[in-house]
Amino acid sequence: MKEICNINDLVEGKGRRFIIDDTEIAIYLVKGKIYALSNICPHQHSAIIHDGFIEDEFVVCPAHGWKFRLEDGKKENGCKGLISYPVTTHNDKVFIEIIKIKYEW
């Protein structure tokens, strides 16, 4: 697990970009829960998921509106979309586990 920030560094409903071990990560705090997803949208391979907006249980890519479930990164239709990373908190610090997965789009 890697420490990435303090919980207070996150803003409800807004994404934040981190680059950990060369991996692009988008962190979201939504209704008090923290989610860590790949920051790279699979549509055009752009690092923009952290700039997305929240719609129900999804983060919506700001470029063309693809939706990814916060919980597991899957697309609306259940197909794979974004890599989802395990998140834990301890003493107000946020930790994520970087798992190297090579996704075939």
- DSSP per-residue codes, 34-64: EEEEESEETTTTEE-GGG-EEETTEEE-TTT
- 66 is a contact residue toward ligand FES (CB under 6 A): yes
Task: Give the nearest distance from C-beta 81 to ligand FES in angstroms.
Answer: 10
- 53 is a contact residue toward ligand FES (CB under 6 A): no
User: What does the alpha-carbon distance between residue 83 and residue 32 come to, in Å, rounded to a whole number?
Assistant: 21
Type of residue numbered 64: H
Type of residue numbered 69: R
CB closer to ligand FES out of 69 and 94: 69
Query: How far, in Å, are 2, 33, 95 from residue 12 at the CA level?
Result: 22, 9, 17
- 41 is a contact residue toward ligand FES (CB under 6 A): yes
**Residues in contact with ligand FES, total (CB under 6 A)?**
9
Between CA 50 and CA 65, with CA 12 as vertex, the angle to 5 degrees is 40
- 43 is a contact residue toward ligand FES (CB under 6 A): yes
- 40 is a contact residue toward ligand FES (CB under 6 A): no
- 68 is a contact residue toward ligand FES (CB under 6 A): no
Task: Give the residues lining the site for ligand FES (CB under 6 A).
Answer: 41, 43-44, 46, 61, 63-66
